Chains A and B, each alone.
Chain A
Amino acid sequence: MTEGSDRPLLEMIGISKSFGGVQALRDVDFSLRAGEIHGLVGENGAGKSTLMKIIAGVHHDFQGTMRLDSKEVHFRSARDALDAGVGMVHQELSIVPDLTVAENVFLGKQPVTSLGTVDWKRMVRESREHLAGLGIDVDPTTRIGALPIGLQQLIELARVLFSGARIIILDEPTSALSPPEVELLFTTLRSLRDSGRSLVFISHFLDDILRISDTVTIFRNGRKVSTTPVAEITKRQVIEQMIGVGHQELEESYTGEIKLDTQFDAPVVMETEGLTLGRSFRDVSLKVRAGEVLGIYGFMGCGQIELARALFGKIMASGAIKLDGKLIRLARTSKARDHGIAYVPESRRAMLFHHEPLYKNMSISILERISNILLKPASERQIARGHIETLHIRTPGPDQLLGNLSGGNQQKVALAKWLTHAPKVLILSEPTRGMDVGAKEDVVRIVRGLRDQGIGVVVVSTEPETVLSLADRILVMKRGEIVREFAGDTVSKDRLLEAA
């Protein structure tokens, strides 16, 4: 084993891959040793996911050579790769929420008795042993959907391991986890490494990458920039290599104290009193001032997403919501819209029409203002052209289908919908999730611009960086309640995490 650990377990030489004329990977070399955790970083579209999908057999049409144990291999499918010992845990978990833990662990290969029926006893026993081996203590007969997301992820990891994987690729495994869950995951990953398995860890969370990895490889624009032992590189250097130039605003949000620019005397536009919704959130009283960005931070599942939806009338909560001092009832989203409340949800798919042209996507929220009965496509296009210009949306024109735009540009379209007539309150749920650094900065700039117009902006996020880079005042939510306010002073990521 000691001799072998110098020779790479997996070697990829001169890998290139293009999608319909777009070069996703250019002549990339990559190697993975036995018993290491290898971090992969890069902006969206840098090529890291594409490379991993080649290793995992998802993409099989590429140029270059791949060697496993010094033997040349070419996987035709994910099944092929798994048979050879390469497994992948995708960001969107592929568990079946309504089945039990044991059924999920044994999905597709349930043990059978001599009669040909499922051997439940063996399934439960073996999955308990197997999970215990990973330090996971959970009743295998529990419905998996009832478990916290962190455990679900570990169980999916267990399933991949159970299939005999020696190389495991984890795509953004920490994005939905709370810090204790991350700790649990990391402990498990370290013990896997120590047992000789190789792990590839793809993430946008640089702190996580730097903490867990032995080696880090950085991608930019489809090329590999460097592969370095983690001990020899700092976060600043990683960021510099990832993006090429110094992006000050973003770096600041990572390191040290942030000064909150809280406006204490600005008028309150929106106010809630004792807002409560079942198990999601309780007794939430908050004020949103004109011309401020109010950040609401909390871990996944602390109720902040539901709170945002309730402020837009997507779900009805009990308690009082006041707008400009007047009590309002938000029975449905169209009421909220009529009151001048705008909302951009966390998922682009949930807020855009992919088959429809840009201008229809942008005009949908304001149709009632620009047309009584008959539509006015000319003015819709006119408005769309204005947004395309001011928000720097990269597209040939307003008739382009939305589905043809890149993710970051789609996000801008989602914002543009609400900007034709300035809302009083703009609620943004996870506005920068999954975005690359450049697109994040665009969002920061746009949001600040809106705030400066006097709009009350609410930013709800589970990413501390997002809240820190945008907010003028921060509320921290914990298990459905607001537990802390940061205002008028400085705040740091540590203290934010501590409060949550």
Chain B
Amino acid sequence: MNGQLGPDEEAKVADLLRGNAEARTFLRAVAEQAVVVADVERLDQHKPQTAKVVTPAFRPWKWAVAAAAAFVLLSAFVIATTPPRHTAKVSAILGPCQYIAADGKVRDEVKVGTLLRVGDTIRTRSSSAWVKLDLNSGSLMTIAGRSRLRLLNVDGRRGFQLAYGNLWATVAKQAIVKPVSIQTPTATVETMAAQFDLEVHPSTSIVRVNDGFVNVERLADGQTADIAADHQAVISISRNQPFTAARQPEPVNEWNCSMLAGRGAVFAKILPQTADGRSRLGAVPLITAEKATIFVANFSVQSSSSPPVLIENGSRVRIRGTTRTEGPVYFGITTQRIKGVFFGKYTAKVEARALGQAGEPWQVEVPLSQFNPKSKQLPGSPAGMELTDIWIVSPEENAELEIHSVKFLPREVGQ
């Protein structure tokens, strides 16, 4: 735990802690003892901590090492006078994706190792899909859900266009690489080094910065703002909307997607209200591959203006809706690390019998424990992560899937 373990040993310790309650009890005891020892000593000494002043000492060997390192760096700089080419390599992939080359060639099967060059486009085609890209400079990007990313030729920048969807980026600071610049329908987002995520819709972009800072220009009026770590901004297509960096709100552990306001439902069609005034949203068809159409409704935490939502053991997803035929529906959640990068997707199948009679409204509550990871690399549970979105899928057109309410509930007290 102090950094001396190798990756294999670290994984063993993690497995031990996940599976062995006694090991966790011991670790908690150590943590408790550490803070109580410090507390008792603090009271005993009854004096504030003094800051430690470290006086630099002259160490000739350190200067020699520094000089050698500087020489190597200088040599590397001279040799690499031109920055690396702007490319992105697919390093991991899940679900239906499409690659559109700059010359217009389309490939519906994308493999790990595919190299994207300027002009190339990659699309993730369903709520459960994602692609991780390596930007050949230690920087990483992930797009997920329904997203479309293109590599652009922008002077002095590594240019991208995110037409719609979700993107998580970790841009590593490197001396010889150019800044990253991402164009959306409403903004240009630029950074030299930052960890941030971006959610893009036709009339709004939401940028959330967790580390470093990014500069954002609102295309509607050319206004710019620097978004520092722990801050976020909503960039609207309208000049009348406010455009300022605001501190990220404190997280909560529940979410009620405000469907009447309509902003949380990022992929669904609004249907006329029921006689008793209940709002309804219809699932939208989505072609995920040749001869494969699904019907999806997608609800985003960030777009609904909610604070970040934390996933706990015992969290539940409660959906109300209707289906016109007897068949299963699928619930899905997208997760990301707390103030961090994309984590993964989890889905749960809801059998037809749980939905009751076809045509009648149903309410289904699925506990977190019934969600399964979409890839083998993910742990069994996303507890401890942050919720990005919830989606509901029906594979049948005749089901006419309608959604009336979407809630993410905390664990029950005493659970």
Q: Do A and B bind each other?
A: no
Taking Cβ atoms with an 8 Å cutoff, the residues of B that contact A are none
Taking Cβ atoms with an 8 Å cutoff, the residues of A that contact B are none
